[in-house]
């Protein structure tokens, strides 16, 4: 035992043959990665192994040689397939004893449901000598925390709704206490409307200088559909100083990115726009063609959105645009259904019909068919009419799948409305 040694590195091993198929991903490791990192413990590797005693033993033994903390998830059930408990005890050469209080606890769970505990569940009460039992209010499998040669071995049940509260309540504390004083601090911002290379070009001269500072700020740029995320992180033993440096760093990025930055806390566009609408007492309605209802669906994904989302129309056909939105057939004949004048007429039609502050109109070609040389697949006209009746209209040329084109179009429409509100706020403040 070397109790003074700080825990700095970790490995996560997910156990279960079902996780090796093509339909299931181990998502627990994402949760654990974030939690461990926030404690200043870096994830060095992670693996998934089937319910094989020998394979798990080999992988666990190697991990134990390499890192300070090994977290094993799954394989704690009562059947022969559940090998994690046995493998860990055998590799660490720890004898088992049956824990009477765990047996009583599991029996009670079964009794509450009017059932007898099957004999096989006694396996879940076998505890390696010296291990701390982590009780599991959400399932029958208790977790285990074992200190071994100055290292920590943690066994957690596989279901996320059992694993996550167990980690937060019973594991984060003891690991954090031994993890040294350094922690990882993070901040982020989300942008939309500019491509990854544009964002990279704009901020690279800034973040590249952070690498040589002590401690360095790490910058990660992540392109996800409809937005570019910039993540900043910093390893430090001084929380106040770390957070101040991150805030200043983020501000210097905002200074060059301007209002392409729409979120500072990871909230998606529909929440950000919803919050702005609610705060200002504004309402919104939409007329959608190629996005087929996705804009309204995203807006109404936000709890409480009935306070500001009025109504909408999905006018997929020309006749629908005419009948439901009052777009004139001549306008469609002159400019085509995918055109800025028709987008504006759709926005105007739905805004007038519903009396909303904002009317949005989207018409375009989501593909894969329907494109022409003049209006290829990905051509989308987006119009937003604001509270003062002024219209903003843009024609986008988008690439990618049908789903991507739909998503990008709704993101762009919400972003135009967001900027109208934010710029109006700025004008009023002057």
Nearest to 410 by CA among 375, 363, 358: 363
- In 3D space, the residue among 167, 186, 163 whose CA is nearest the CA of residue 176 turns out to be 167
Q: Which is nearer to a second copy, 43 or 398 (CB)?
A: 43
Output 223 or 248, the one with its CB closest to a second copy.
223
| Binding flag, residue 214, a second copy (CB under 8 A) | no
Task: Identify residues 28-47 at the interface with a second copy (CB under 8 A).
Answer: 29-31, 33-34, 37, 43-47
CB atoms within 10 A of CB 324: 17
Buried-state track 219-247, b at ≥16 Cβ within 10 A, e below 16: bebeeeebbbbbebbbbbeeeeebeebbe
Contacts 24+ apart (CB under 8 A), 422-428: 422/259, 422/276, 423/259, 424/386
CB of 122 to a second copy, least distance (A): 24
Query: Residue 7: which residues within 8 A CB-CB, separation 6 or more?
Result: 41, 68, 69, 151, 152, 175, 178, 179, 180
What residues numbered 48-77 form the site for a second copy, per CB under 8 A?
Answer: 48-50, 52, 55, 58-59, 62, 66
Task: Kindly state the smallest distance separating residue 49's Cβ from a second copy, in Å.
Answer: 4
Using CB under 8 A, which of 304, 333, 372, 426 touches a second copy? Answer: 304
Out of 103, 133, 264, 324, the residue judged to bind a second copy by CB under 8 A: 324
Q: How far apart are CA 273 and CA 321, in angstroms?
A: 26
Nearer to a second copy, 286 or 381 (CB): 286
User: Counting contacts by CB under 8 A, is residue 404 touching a second copy?
Assistant: no
Count of residues binding a second copy (CB under 8 A)? 72
Selected range binding a second copy among 115-123, 240-248, 307-315, 391-399, rule: CB under 8 A? 307-315
Binding a second copy (rule: CB under 8 A), the pick from 101, 403, 423, 426 is 403
Paired tokens of 412: 């762009």
Nearer Cβ to a second copy, position 44 or 419? Answer: 44
């Amino acid at each position: 035992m070397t109790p003074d040694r700080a825990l700095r590195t970790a490995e996560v091993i997910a156990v279960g043959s079902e996780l090796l198929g093509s339909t299931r991903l181990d998502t627990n490791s994402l949760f654990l990665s974030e939690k461990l990192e926030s404690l200043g413990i870096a994830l060095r590797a992670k693996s998934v192994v089937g319910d094989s005693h020998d394979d798990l033993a080999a992988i666990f033994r190697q991990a134990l040689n390499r890192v300070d903390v090994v977290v094993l998830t799954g394989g704690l059930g009562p059947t022969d397939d559940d090998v994690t408990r046995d493998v860990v005890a055998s590799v660490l050469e720890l004898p088992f004893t049956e824990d009477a209080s765990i047996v009583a606890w599991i029996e009670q769970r079964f009794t509450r449901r009017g059932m007898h505990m099957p004999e096989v569940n006694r396996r879940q009460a076998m505890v390696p000598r010296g291990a701390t039992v982590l009780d599991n209010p959400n399932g029958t499998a208790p977790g285990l925390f074992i200190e071994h040669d100055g290292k920590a071995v943690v066994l957690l049940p596989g279901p996320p709704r059992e694993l996550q509260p167990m980690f937060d309540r019973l594991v984060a504390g003891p690991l954090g206490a031994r993890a040294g004083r350094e922690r990882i601090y993070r901040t982020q911002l989300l942008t939309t409307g500019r491509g990854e290379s544009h964002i990279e070009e704009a901020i690279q001269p800034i973040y590249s200088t952070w690498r040589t500072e002590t401690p360095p700020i790490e910058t990660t740029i992540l392109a996800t559909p409809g937005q570019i995320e910039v993540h900043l992180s910093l390893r430090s033993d001084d929380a106040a100083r770390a957070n101040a440096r991150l805030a200043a760093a983020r501000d210097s990025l905002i200074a060059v990115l301007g209002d392409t930055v729409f979120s500072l806390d990871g909230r998606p566009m529909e929440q950000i726009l919803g919050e702005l609408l609610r705060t200002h007492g504004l309402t919104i309605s939409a007329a959608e063609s190629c996005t087929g209802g996705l804009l309204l669906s995203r807006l109404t994904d936000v709890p409480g959105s009935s306070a500001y989302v009025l109504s909408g129309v999905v006018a997929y056909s020309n006749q629908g645009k005419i009948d439901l939105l009052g777009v004139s057939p001549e306008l469609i004949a002159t400019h085509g259904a995918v055109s800025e004048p028709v987008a504006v007429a759709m926005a105007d039609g739905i805004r007038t019909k519903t009396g909303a502050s904002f009317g949005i109109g989207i018409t375009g070609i989501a593909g894969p068919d329907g494109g022409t040389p003049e209006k290829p697949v990905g051509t989308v006209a987006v119009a937003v009419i604001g509270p003062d009746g002024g219209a903003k209209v843009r024609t986008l040329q988008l690439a990618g799948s049908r789903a991507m084109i739909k998503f990008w179009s709704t993101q762009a429409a919400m972003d135009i409305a967001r900027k109208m509100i934010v710029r109006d706020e700025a004008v009023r403040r002057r």
